[in-house]
Amino acid sequence: MSAEFTKEMKATHEILAPDIFPTHMSLIKELFAMYGYKVTILKNTGKDVIDTGLKYLHNDMCYPAICAVGQQLYALESGEYDLNKVALVQFQTGGGCRASNYIWLLRKALKNLNMEHVPVISLSFSGVEKSSGFKVTPMMLFKGLMAIVYGDLLMLLRNQVRPYEVNEGETLKLVEKWNEELISQFRKNKGLVGKSLRKNMHDIAKSFSEIPRRDVKKTKVGIVGEIYVKYSPFGNNGLEDFLFSQDCEFMVPGVLPFFQTMFANAETDYELYGGSKLTKRIYKFVEKRVETLETIMLDTLKEFPEFVAPSKFEHVKELGEKVIGRGVKMGEGWLLPAEIAELVESGYSNVVCAQPFGCLPNHIVGKGVIRTIKEMYPTANICPVDYDAGASKVNQENRIKLMLAIAKEEEES
């Protein structure tokens, strides 16, 4: 059995995390720092990282595992870190998808590398496993979700402003500025209560709205998909950059709904199969608390009608029920098709559905429901793209180009 992350290690060990949500990770990292954990977000990418993943994991394992575990193992093998003062962290959802096995496979790989003494932390809300030195308290969880809301807002504004900016680079600079500002607030334990959250949100939105923008027409594209390849440029071959180069404005639904879905599913499970009423109530309570965060963001965005705001999660849930049924909970579950529907409703009727090659839940919630969505929304122009260590960028971009050609035709007619 591999090493446990003990209380003492908190002071001595650097925790290496894969870069799951590139826009959000710098804030999340700060949050861990507030609780005394030294987290480093791994930025290594490239073929060597993939090869390391392929070498130590089963090659038919999902691509996100190859990327994320690859990043960590590559870092350990690089010699840059003192192996006695380093730990790894993986996010674990604990669902019926094979993704809940990442952490186990990582440990197996460590064993093959004779690095079993490197502790692996499971970051999960469902308590799949516990370690003495690492605990997510309800407060920490809540603050974590706040960091995610900030990230979601920054991502949303960046995506809607950058394609139209007059002065090239201004938007990204502003994102950077806000990241620094928030980090410095977090370090002072500020910015994480209702009032300052509200103020920050408002200031952020206002500052983006003040960036001078051109009035030009861009093709509006939504991005949904498996959680890793949806956000990570390493996982999706720089999908956002490609769309940007093709004169598109893209909308990527936020990270918060992914967590909201997890809480909502506990309730659904109770309805469908029975079980503990108490668990259901706890999750219902958490869900409600998270909703207050969501409301702050949506209220802020109401003041700036030039931005397309995300739908309320309640509405996303309804869409999920309509499109596929909310009992479908493995992987991204019903959220994925619900997001496609939401995007189409918000005017992003061209949607790239990014999925790892051979992803099991995506047989159901991705390719499986496209037909239903097209029947519900005849204008939906959906392009599933598979990502994999062996898939070539040319083919992926070619498929997206087809989607864009149809989109342009629609715009003109």
Partner 1 sequence: MKRIGLDIGSTTIKCIVMDEEGNILFDSYRRHFSKISENAGNTLNEIADNFPNEEMLLSVSGSAGMGIATDLNLPFAQEVYATRTAVNRRLPGTDVVIELGGEDAKILFLTDGVEVRMNGSCAGGTGAFIDQMATLMNVSPDELDQLAADYSKIYTIASRCGVFAKSDIQPLINQGARKEDIAASILRAVVNQTISGLAQGREIKGNILYLGGPLTFFPQLRIAFDKVLGCEGACPNESLYFVAMGAAYSKDSVVVNPKELSKKAEGYSATGGYVSCPCLFKDEKDYADFITRHENDSANIKSINAPEGKMYLGIDAGSTTIKALLCDENGNIFNTLYCSNSGNPVPIVKDYLDNLYEKYPEINIVSAAVTGYGEDIIRNAFRLDNGIVETVAHYTAAKKFLPDVDFIIDIGGQDIKCFKIRNGTIDSLFLNEACSSGCGSFLQTFAGVLGYDMDKFSEMALYAERPVDLGSRCTVFMNSSVKQAQKDGAGIENIAAGLCISVVKNALYKVIRCASPDQLGKNIVVQGGTFLNNAVLRAFEQEIGCNVIRPHISGLMGAYGAALYAQEKAKNKQKSSILTAEELKNFTHTVKATSCNGCSNHCRLTINTFDGGRSFIAGNRCDRPLKSSKNKVDYNLYAYKYGLLDKLRHDEIDTSKSTVGIPMGLNMYELLPFWYAAFKSLGFNVVVSGESTHKLYVKGQSTIPSDTVCYPAKLLHGHIEDLIEKQVDAVFYPCMSYNVNESLGHNHYNCPVVAYYPKVIAANVKALAKTDFIGEFIGIHDRKEFAPHFGKILAAHGHVFSAAQLKAAAKAAYNAYDEHMAAVRTKGDEYLDLAKKEGLPVIILAGRPYHVDPEINHGIDRLICELGAVVITEDSVSDKQKRFPTTVLNQWTYHSRLYAAAKFVTENEDLNLSLVQLVSFGCGLDAVTTDEARSILESKNKLYTQIKIDEITNLGAVKIRLRSLFAMLNGGK
Q: Which is nearer to partner 1, 140 or 376 (CB)?
A: 376
Q: Where are the alpha helices (DSSP H) in 59-114?
A: 63-77, 102-112
Q: Which is nearer to partner 1, 7 or 58 (CB)?
A: 58
Rg (CA), the chain: 21
x-marked contacts with partner 1 along 233-272 as a string, rule CB under 8 A: ------------------------------------x--x
- Choice from 36, 79, 305, 378 touching partner 1 (CB under 8 A): 378
| Strands, E assignment, 163-317 | 219-225, 248-251
| CA distances from residue 89 to 43, 44, 226, 251, 322 in whole angstroms, order as listed | 15, 16, 20, 29, 36
Q: Does 295 bind partner 1 (CB under 8 A)?
A: no
CB of 294 to partner 1, least distance (A): 26
Residues 331-350 binding partner 1 (CB under 8 A) are 331
Residues 93-132 binding partner 1 (CB under 8 A) are 95-98, 100-101, 103-105, 107-109, 111-113, 128
- Choice from 12, 59, 196, 279 touching partner 1 (CB under 8 A): 59
Residue by residue, DSSP assigns 312-365 as: PHHHHHHHHHHHT-TT--STTTTHHHHHHHHHHHTT--EEEEEEETT-HHHHHH
Among the residue ranges 18-26, 60-68, 203-211, 345-353, the one whose residues contact partner 1 (CB under 8 A): 60-68
Q: Does 64 bind partner 1 (CB under 8 A)?
A: no
Q: Which is nearer to partner 1, 145 or 383 (CB)?
A: 383
Q: Which is nearer to partner 1, 58 or 312 (CB)?
A: 58
Residue 135 class from Cβ within 10 Å (0-12 exposed, 13-18 middle, 19+ buried)?
exposed
Of the candidates 399, 406, 367, 19, the one whose C-alpha atom is nearest the C-alpha of residue 225 is: 367
Q: Which is nearer to partner 1, 213 or 326 (CB)?
A: 326
Sheet with 14-17, strands from edge to edge, namely 38-41, 14-17, 86-91, 120-123
Residues 134-193 binding partner 1 (CB under 8 A) are none
Task: Reduce the DSSP state of residue 87 to 3 states and report it.
Answer: strand
Residues 66-95 binding partner 1 (CB under 8 A) are 95
Q: Does 390 bind partner 1 (CB under 8 A)?
A: yes
Of the candidates 242, 244, 254, 221, the one whose C-alpha atom is nearest the C-alpha of residue 387 is: 242
Distance CA 264, CA 262 (A): 5
Q: Does 379 bind partner 1 (CB under 8 A)?
A: no
- Choice from 328, 335, 341, 343 touching partner 1 (CB under 8 A): 328
Confirm if 208 and 157 have CB atoms less than 8 A apart: yes
Q: Which is nearer to partner 1, 14 or 116 (CB)?
A: 116
Q: Does 397 bind partner 1 (CB under 8 A)?
A: yes
- Choice from 7, 43, 58, 199 touching partner 1 (CB under 8 A): 58
Confirm if 23 and 178 have CB atoms less than 8 A apart: no
Q: Does 317 bind partner 1 (CB under 8 A)?
A: no
For 94-118, b/e burial (b = at least 16 CB within 10 A) is ebebbbbebbbbbbbbbeebebeeb
CB of 43 to partner 1, least distance (A): 19
Among the residue ranges 4-12, 58-66, 74-82, 251-259, the one whose residues contact partner 1 (CB under 8 A): 58-66
